[in-house]
Amino acid sequence: MPEAGILLDLYRRMVLARRFDVQVTALTRQGRLATYPSGLGQEACEIAAAAALADDDWLFPTYRDSIALLARGVKAVEILSFFRGDWHSGFDPKQRRIAPQSTPLATQALHAVGFATASKMRHESVATLAFLGDGATSEGEAHEAFNFAAVWQAPTVFVVQNNGYAISVPFSKQSRARTLADKAIGYGMPGHFVDGNDVAAMYAVITDALDRARNGGGPTLIEGLTYRMEAHTNSDDPSRYRGDEEVERWRVLDPIARIESYLIREGALTEKLRAEIADAAEQLAAETRDAMNESPHLDPLELFDHVYATPRAALAEQRDYLATELESSEARHLS
Amino acid sequence: MTIAHDTNVTAAVAQAPASVTLAGALNSALADAMSEDDSVVVFGEDVGPLGGVFRVTDGLSARFGDDRVWDSPLAEAGIVGTAIGMAMNGMRPVIEMQFDAFSYPAFQQITSHLAKMRNRTKGALELPVVVRIPYAGGIGGVEHHSDSSEAYWTHTPGLTVVTPSNPSDAYWMLRQAISSNDPVIFLEPKSRYWMKDAVDHSTPAAPLDRARVIRTGTDVTLLAYGPTVKTAMDAAALAELEDLSIEVIDLRTLSPFDDETVGGSVRKTTRAAVIHEAAQFGGYGAEVAARVTERNFFHLAAPILRIAGFDVPFPSPKLEEYFLPTAERVLAALDTWEW
Ligand SMILES: Cc1ncc(C[n+]2csc(CCOP(=O)(O)OP(=O)(O)O)c2C)c(N)n1
Ligand SMILES: [Mg+2]
């Protein structure tokens, strides 16, 4: 069991994460963002992973994992730049040591393995952590990533968040395996099946796996069993594929309520501290709303600026074309 | 208007040392790049002790050790995906797809990540990865061993796509590709692997983003690349017997396209044809014909022709001779113009 100070920190970050998530989902419903895949209900996995990573470690997240980015210090506005449609990735990956949130399923797991292998080749003590969904484990690239990691003994930890669904498709249609963690045996790496709504357990298991990876012990596959409380994204209609009773069964297992009642029972979380954390969460929500009220200045000409390191004449021509088009439409507006 | 005619080709070759094969030139390019830069690593299927099925990596694992040159598990998406991760972390991987058609399992990694990472992160993450792909036919390969897939890659913004046709270019273009901070799809014409020629190791003949005029002429410009450069040169030699003067351009770089060199030649000759092995419909030649026409229409005396593979899957070994463009087929195509 991690010590109380760590648990309090995890609790704090989970509360902030949920408030952020609820706020962003609301903003998305108001049409302020193009889309937002919520992590509501999955905070134990998300925050445990973010907190377990050392400063030099790298995170390889999916579209689902915005709150892990938040917990690792990425600013709300930098995260939401992607979902608001400003640019594909709104933060500097090197500064945050986080790869851009990946949409093509399971592809980022291979990047995590390659990245970790490069660090290992240079004898650096760096691990990588790749998030995957339950559905993504059916992709060929998940298999390739697990296998490459094991063969190369890459310092990579795979955290599969089994949230029960891949959009509408339940886990039962995804795999006949008893647990996804069982698959680790076939690759020759350790696998752990963990209660994904127990932040203390997730934190302990991920921390061990990262230590092991950094110390030359190779990769680990961790499955956290959890539940996606919200729709897949705002454009999804979960009533078409799951019933309220199921959602209510999981609500009882809420990861924040569980750690909160534990910390209160242990006397570690006072009412005063709880109120302070709740205030901080409101503050974050307000900042997030404010940030989304400001429209960033987007320069259409930037479309051409980052495609190649080596400049291309043909792209410069197209840039000029767009610049002229923009000037003439501006002139039309002025006249 | 400058026209990048290169009349010095034969001069460079004259001072050059002993002849090597195109495969051998690629091998020395890899060895030289690895000796100069520790971050260059080579991995893929059978590239270790075996030296690759075409022996391009022959001797490299013995010389540099199996932590610089190694056999990866057999999975193309895995090879490209892990190379991407390594490149994000300071390495310069040179990876091999064993044959053209076996690069398809890696299509998603190449088009969705390798090509896009730089743009997605506003230049914060560059991916200096070279994907070497032996391509095209003419070696009697069975199904799936003779595809020309260049149009898939040239249609993808973010990728640089090049193909050498001779040992000297093979050496220098691979060195330049490895030095480039952009991901490069490096297409190796497998029917030319055993062609021998001298390589001048002192200076590259041209930058990676330039085409080269390899034979000067006045009546027609033939645009060729990789395996069809020889076809074009053969056609030019035959045409000379009929007093037709053909200029041949080795495109070398498919993306970017060297508008300047090609435009300069076409404005002079006023007629052009492009030759490739890939199927004609939607092929690379369609882009060449369209863009060269758009930019030079008033200088053209005739429509730009495409001499390409038929719109059928690449044939079985005994039928490939009917499919591949030949010098005779090129000349027959030029005859369809009104002169
Ligand atoms: C290669 C690929 N195929 C399909 C999709 C479309 N898609 C986006 S999310 C998703 C479901 C993924 O489910 P899971 O891996 O369980 O992750 P979750 O969304 O539950 O976090 C699908 C099918 C995609 N993004 N990438
Ligand atoms: Mg899921």
**CA–CA separation, A69 and A56 (whole Å):** 15
Residue B12 has a pLDDT of 45
Q: Residue B17: which pLDDT band, with cuts at 50, 70 and 90?
A: low
| B11 has a pLDDT exceeding 50 | no
User: Which residues are near ligand 2, the ion (C-beta closer than 5 Å)?
Assistant: A 133-134, 163, 166
Q: Is A252 helix (H, G, I), strand (E, B) or coil?
A: coil
pLDDT in tens, B163-190: 999 999 999 999 999 999 999 999 999 9
CATH 3.40.50.920 residue window(s) in chain B: 212-334
Instruction: Pick one of 3.40.50.970, 1.25.40.10, 3.50.50.60, 3.20.20.70 as the CATH number of B17-198.
Output: 3.40.50.970
Contact A114 B89 (CB under 8 A): yes
Contact B83 A114 (CB under 8 A): yes
Give chain B positions within 8 Å (CB) of A100: 117, 120-121, 125
Percent of chain B residues past pLDDT 70, beyond the cut = 95
Give the pairing type, strands B246-250 and B212-215: antiparallel
* Strands (E) located in B280-332: 305-309
A214 is catalytic: no
Look up residue A82 and give its amino acid.
F
Backbone angles phi, psi at B174, to 5 degrees: -70, -40
In degrees to the nearest 10, what's the CA dihedral of A313, A318, A320, A326? Answer: -170
Q: Which of A115, A120, A305 best tests the B interface by mutation, with the highest count of B CBs <10 A?
A: A115
Residue nearest to atom 21 of ligand 1 (CA): A133
Handedness of CA B79, B84, B86, B92 (dihedral sign): positive
Q: Residue B2: which pLDDT band, with cuts at 50, 70 and 90?
A: very low
Q: How close is the Cα of A296 to the center of ligand 2, in Å? A: 32
Give chain B positions within 8 Å (CB) of A321: none
pLDDT in tens, B283-328: 999 999 999 999 999 999 999 999 999 999 999 999 999 999 999 9
| Nearest residue, CB atoms, B81 vs list A87, A110, A310 | A110
Averaged confidence pLDDT in chain B: 95
Q: Report helix angle A271-293 to A76-84, nearest 10.
A: 50
* Smallest-distance ligand from the CA of A39: 1
Instruction: Pick one of 3.40.50.10490, 3.40.50.300, 3.60.150.10, 3.40.50.970 as the CATH number of A4-293.
Output: 3.40.50.970
Give chain A positions within 8 Å (CB) of B254: none
- Residue B319, Cβ neighbours under 10 Å: how many? 10
- The answer to whether residues B117 and A115 touch, using CB atoms and an 8 Å cutoff, is no
Q: How close is the Cα of A46 to the center of ligand 1, in Å? A: 17
Domains of chain A, residue spans: 4-293, 300-334
- List active site positions of B: 145
Residue nearest to atom 13 of ligand 1 (CA): A166
Residue B6 has a pLDDT of 43
pLDDT in tens, B69-83: 999 999 999 999 999
- The answer to whether residues A93 and B125 touch, using CB atoms and an 8 Å cutoff, is yes
- Fold entry, domain B212-334: Rossmann fold (3.40.50)
| B7 has a pLDDT exceeding 50 | no
A104 touches chain B (CB under 8 A): yes
| Nearest residue, CB atoms, A310 vs list B41, B108, B180 | B180
pLDDT in tens, A81-91: 999 999 999 99
| Nearest residue, CB atoms, A117 vs list B73, B86, B180 | B86
Q: Which residue has the tokens 């014409």?
A: B189
| B32 has a pLDDT exceeding 90 | yes
Structure tokens at A66: 């915005």
Q: In terms of C-beta density within 10 A (0-12 exposed, 13-18 middle, 19 or more buried), how is residue B238 classed?
A: middle
Q: How close is the Cα of A174 to the center of ligand 2, in Å? A: 10
Q: Return per-residue pLDDT of chain A as tens, 335 residues.
A: 889 999 999 999 999 999 999 999 999 999 999 999 999 999 999 999 999 999 999 999 999 999 999 999 999 999 999 999 999 999 999 999 999 999 999 999 999 999 999 999 999 999 999 999 999 999 999 999 999 999 999 999 999 999 999 999 999 999 999 999 999 999 999 999 999 999 999 999 999 999 999 999 999 999 999 999 999 998 899 999 999 999 999 999 999 999 999 999 999 999 999 999 999 999 999 999 999 998 889 999 999 999 999 999 999 999 999 999 999 988 887 77
Look up residue A103 and give its amino acid.
T
CA-wise closest residue to A199 among A5, A11, A4, A3: A11
Q: How close is the Cα of A170 to the center of ligand 2, in Å? A: 8
**CA–CA separation, A176 and B238 (whole Å):** 66
A232 is catalytic: yes
A175 touches chain B (CB under 8 A): no
| B206 has a pLDDT exceeding 70 | yes
- The answer to whether residues A63 and A102 touch, using CB atoms and an 8 Å cutoff, is yes
Nearest atom, ligand 1, residue A166 CA: 13
* Strands (E) located in B59-127: 69-71, 92-96
A146 touches chain B (CB under 8 A): no
Backbone angles phi, psi at B188, to 5 degrees: -105, 115
Which helix H or strand E contains A211, and what residues bound it? helix A199-214
* Smallest-distance ligand from the CA of A61: 1
What is the least distance, in Å, from the CA of B209 to any CA of chain A? 9
- The answer to whether residues A101 and A66 touch, using CB atoms and an 8 Å cutoff, is yes
Please list every protein residue whose CB sits less than 6 Å from any atom of ligand 1.
A 64, 103-105, 133-136, 163, 165-167, 228, 232
Which is more confident, B4 or B284?
B284
| Nearest residue, CB atoms, B85 vs list A89, A110, A302 | A110
Nearest atom, ligand 1, residue A104 CA: 26
Long-range contacts of B199-204, Cβ-Cβ distance < 8 Å, separation of 24 or more: B199/B16, B199/B17, B199/B20, B199/B25, B199/B28, B199/B167, B199/B168, B199/B171, B200/B12, B200/B13, B200/B15, B200/B16, B200/B168, B201/B17, B201/B28, B201/B171, B203/B12, B204/B172, B204/B175, B204/B176
Structure tokens at B276: 């490739």
